[in-house]
Structure 1
Amino acid sequence: MAHGIGDVAARTGLSVHALRFYEREGLFAGPIVRDPGGRRVYSDDDIEWVELCARLRETGMPIDAIRKYADLVREGPGNEPDRLALLQAHQERIEAQMEALSVGLSMISYKVRVYEKRLAEGTASDLWTGRAASGD
């Protein structure tokens, strides 16, 4: 099925500008077809691909890495181990970030509990006063 750029933008949540940027940067797995009037025509596969690229960006994958992945896909069969290695490296970065976020969240959750307790007790006025024993 053929889709115009406005439809793709609406379906993916990306702006028309972002879709044009993705194309300029070589992030699509194949060329974007144009109709006789020169307007971009996207296939269902193109939409799936742009959704994948958007998720990769949301997880912090650099444009250069997405471009490398797209280049490998465009090269065709035979480089699947390279594609896997690229995705695994990104997966490892995300897992490390998630672990760091989890540690940070635990600390923040602890601090929230301290503040809630101290506010409920009416003893919050001495939080962060420089006294080591204040529990803040």
Structure 2
Amino acid sequence: MDLSIGEVAQRSGLSVHALRFYEREGLFANPVRRLSNGRRVYHEEDVEWLAICTKLRSSGMSLAVIRQYIELARQGPGNEHERLQLLRLHEAHVEERIRELQGALDVMRYKVRVYEEHLARGEADRLWNPSSSDAAHDDPADR
């Protein structure tokens, strides 16, 4: 079934502008077909690929690496090891980023708990104020 750019935008959650950008950047698994009037025609496989592609982007995979992966896929069988290597490298990057984010989340949860405790005790005035003379010191809420 042929899909218009508007239908693909609606189904993928990407804007028409983003779809045109993805096409210009060579990020579709297959070239986008055009009708004689110049209108783009997409297929269900394009929508499926866009779902994968947007997850790769949201995980931090660069456009260059996505493009490299697509080029390998377009070449067909015989380069699966190279594709797997690209995915494994990115997987390691994502896992490291998750560890970093977990550390940041742990700090945020700790700080939220400290603030909630101080506010519950009516001790908000004891919380660190960067404009006070104690700004150069540690956050007293952490002591």
Q: TM-score, normalised by structure 1?
A: 0.93
Higher relative contact order (CA 8 A, sep 6+): 1
SS in 1 for 2:128: coil
SS in 2 for 1:135: helix
Q: In the alignment, what sits opposite 1:94?
A: 94
Q: Distance in 2 between matches of 1:18 and 1:107?
A: 35
1:37 matched to 2:40: no
1:38-80 per-position Cα deviation (integer Å, ceiling 9, x unaligned): 2111111111112211111111111101100110111111111
Q: In the alignment, what sits opposite 2:118?
A: 118
Q: In the alignment, what sits opposite 1:9?
A: 9
How far did residue 4 of structure 1 move? 0.6
Q: How does 1:1-136 map to 2 (within 5 A)?
A: 1-128=1-128, 130=134, 134-136=140-142
- Change beyond 3 A, Cα 1:132–1:47: closer
Q: Distance in 1 between matches of 2:141 and 2:125?
A: 12
- Range 25-34 or range 1-10, more displaced: 25-34
Q: Distance in 1 between matches of 2:38 and 2:101?
A: 46
> Retained in 1: the 8 A contact 2:29–2:70?
yes
Aligned alpha-carbon RMSD (Å): 1.5
Q: Percent identity?
A: 51
How far did residue 36 of structure 1 move? 2.5
Where in structure 1 do 4 or more consecutive aligned residues deviate above 4 Å?
Answer: none
Q: Structure 1: where are the runs of 5+ without partners?
A: none
> Retained in 1: the 8 A contact 2:115–2:141?
no
SS in 2 for 1:38: coil
SS in 1 for 2:118: helix
Give the total of aligned pairs: 136
Greater percentage in helix: 1
